[in-house]
Homo-oligomer: A and B are copies of this chain.
Amino acid sequence: MATKGEITREKILEGATRIFNRQGFAATTVNDLLAATGTTKGNLYFHFPGKEEVGLEVLHRAKGGFIHFLDASLQGVSPGACLDNFFRQALEKHRESGFVGGCLWGNTALETSDTAPEFVGVASEVFTEWIGKLRETVAAAQAAGQVRRDLPAACLAELVVATVEGAIMQSRMKKEEGPLARTLETLRSLLELKVRDGRGLNPQ
């Protein structure tokens, strides 16, 4: 059973994740953090030396969660179906959030690339893992004749991640799914993703 201290720590990290994602790390003051997490300054500083450490812990935990999301979404009866499922899950994930918050990793990359090496280091690890997992799936889909074979899987995987990040940015900005949904459809066409066993972006 979780102790009272563990519950408080958890509450701080959950609230911090929401507010950092919505308004960014730098724009979040310690007072914002207290309001968002419903804790006292005493409690916050009992568990963390400061805002930086809360931010880093948020990222480390989110990394685990995101890798789990990738593994769970890159599932299917064939490599092509895995890709198909990944695209659908990515859209669904952001639909659920109402296109608020966007992608924590993109946000972290843009906010901290020039200023906070430890923060961007975690984001960089996440992107490397993401591209690596997609590369394996794309290569398998190429071998299965479900994705075009004339371009290296590594190049296609790198482009997919860039495109998905940019499209999430556009949907978050407009607060509508159009940009992300349309761009994922275009991307599927460009990849020549052929899946009889996939469900597409908008399954009934």
- Cβ of A186 and Cβ of B110 under 8 Å apart? no
Q: Chain A 5-47 against B: per-residue CB contact (8 Å), 1 yes, 0 no?
A: 0000000000000000011101100000000000000000000
Cα distance A27–B112 when bound, in Å?
Answer: 10
Quick check: is A72 within 8 A (CB to CB) of the other chain? no
- Cβ of A169 and Cβ of B24 under 8 Å apart? no
Copies of this protein, total: 2
Quick check: is A123 within 8 A (CB to CB) of the other chain? yes
Residues of B within 8 A of A102 (CB): 110, 113
- Cβ of A106 and Cβ of B115 under 8 Å apart? no
Interface centre among A124, A170, A185 (most CB of B within 10 A): A170
Residues of B within 8 A of A158 (CB): 170, 179, 182-183, 186
- Cβ of B110 and Cβ of A106 under 8 Å apart? yes
Residues of B within 8 A of A200 (CB): none
Quick check: is A156 within 8 A (CB to CB) of the other chain? yes
Residues of B within 8 A of A174 (CB): 124
- Cβ of B170 and Cβ of A127 under 8 Å apart? yes
